[in-house]
Structure 1
Amino acid sequence: MKPVLLTGAAGFIGYHVAQRYLAEGRTVLGIDDLNDYYDVALKESRLERLSAHGNFAFRKVDLADRPAMDDVFRTHAFGTVIHLGAQAGVRYSLENPHVYVKSNVEGFLHILEGCRHSPVEHLLYASSSSVYGAVTQMPFSVHQNVDHPVSLYAATKKSNELFAHCYSHLYRIPCTGLRFFTVYGPWGRPDMALFLFTRAILAGEPIKVFANGQMMRDFTYIDDVVEGIVRLAGNPAQGDPAWDSNAPDPGTSAAPYRVYNIGNHRPVQLLHLIEVLEECLGRKAVKEFLPFQPGDVPETYADVDDLAAATGYVPSTPIEVGVDRFVRWYRDYHRV
């Protein structure tokens, strides 16, 4: 089988996807720029584990570096491209918007151009539940209109979906967008709430609880996300012959283009997550309650009917199980 190109290979989700493919004997070329948005040592630890596999290769590449990206596609023939590399973080996009356009928009264009000039069987790319923005109708469905983002991060992810549809229509590239819902688990990102809470509680420091702990999130365990990605990767997007241009469905197209939610479809209140974490750690948190933050949304809740129909799979790991696994990893990795 042709190699898999995996961008963001040193990232949280990318690391786990690479591990899955390598365990199955696939050849993976991982690329990442190893930026310092969060602890580079954690990214290097992930790469060290991946490099133990003989069929894993790594190139340090900035997605926005056009000549470097051109070279990646010119020197390899990929069957599947899984594009998970991006500048993450909703709140940081309010502070440093230019980085998001460079990485998430310009970088994605280079991926699409690579797939155009070096044809691939399937391009999958990371979108986000953030694209639902101001939408309040629950659960979030890929068939809803998502033209009202409330953060620049969300706007760049929505732009990725639009770019992908354009290239899918013009060049018949099978493109599948992956709307992830608050992914967590071992080897997770240090800027995410679960990681921040765990570190603070173990250090005896107060945790910042935004929106007074009332916000709801569809926390999705990493293994469930990986399973969804791998199943969709083997199911290239196809055009929908029933697509109606007079009543256009945002989730499908006459082009080989699809979008899927990958979420646990069980929203959990932030305060309940903290309770579960306290039980796993055996310690109580000192809570500093803070107001709602700009760019945040009050609730996320995934409709995964399309994912189930396409793959026969639905994420199902309970928050109690996932948090316990994260805590066990955290204590081991940090020797706490």
Structure 2
Amino acid sequence: MSEQVPVPWAESRPLPAYRALLAVDAKDFTGLPALLHAPVSQVIPELVDQALTKAGLDSVRSDKSFPASTGDGIVFGFDPVHLPFVISPFLKVLDDVLGRYNVLAAGPRIRLRASVHVGPLPDADSAGDGNGTARNDTHRLLDSRPVKAILAASSEQTTHLAAILSDRVYEDVVLGGYTALHPDRCIEVPATVEGKPFAQRAWLHVPSPSGNLFRAGVLAVDEPHEAGVPDEPSPDPAATRDSLQKSQYQGNSQHVREGMAVMGDITGDLNYNGGATHYNGTNQHWGSGDNVSGTKHTGSPEEQR
């Protein structure tokens, strides 16, 4: 006989241990011929495990909590002590592993979205392990508009992974300085999911942004175009705009040193506007890598930061 269902707020009880979560899924999986679904489903966890080993995270690979296949991806929990290393170097290593696979494999390209979150979840070798709000939010982040839109807008030749970090992970691990990923390589985005009552602040990180994002105006580049080098196809602005329609952005200014940055709705040639957020083509904060061009103003003049 199963245990009696607990009644929330009726009594105090022990908080489950915190578990970090990693979820990945493949772009355009359902568009593949049915014949390819099974082999692609099999190769995704193999590529993730390969990247874990290359990143020096064999303990995460061997000690996954409540691992599960989602058909077009996987999700599993792990000890939060490893979160800094999953953020860096693992995400970059996974991007490299995917890039090498896509060059050498005879099958379809595999491009992934990844979400990273942390929260209290049961993990006691029982049927309900891994079920809870933190698990649900991990999947919502994975399905959110910003991470889908930027992967769709980027070049499949160079951008193989787009990752989204929950605000809790960003605050504790990235801002806390525990990981090698600098905060300037992340950008605040409104994580919303079409048709779902979900809206959270989150942080987008793309390990290898592609050149067409520069030309579309998402990123700024200070190098002249080489004569005779063909342009990569520009992203479809209408499709990208639709994928982020009605997203509302509120947050702090981002000073981007490396990586790429996206915030708010995508309109036109990937110019970003999110409610009261506006971008002007000046006053960029430069660092040593890829940057977002423009200045963000939020709210009224008195509230602008």
With structure 2 as the length reference, what TM-score do the two structures score?
A: 0.28
More helix by share: 1
More strand by share: 2
Task: Point out which structure has higher relative CO (alpha carbons under 8 A, 6+ apart).
Answer: 1
With structure 1 as the length reference, what TM-score do the two structures score?
A: 0.26
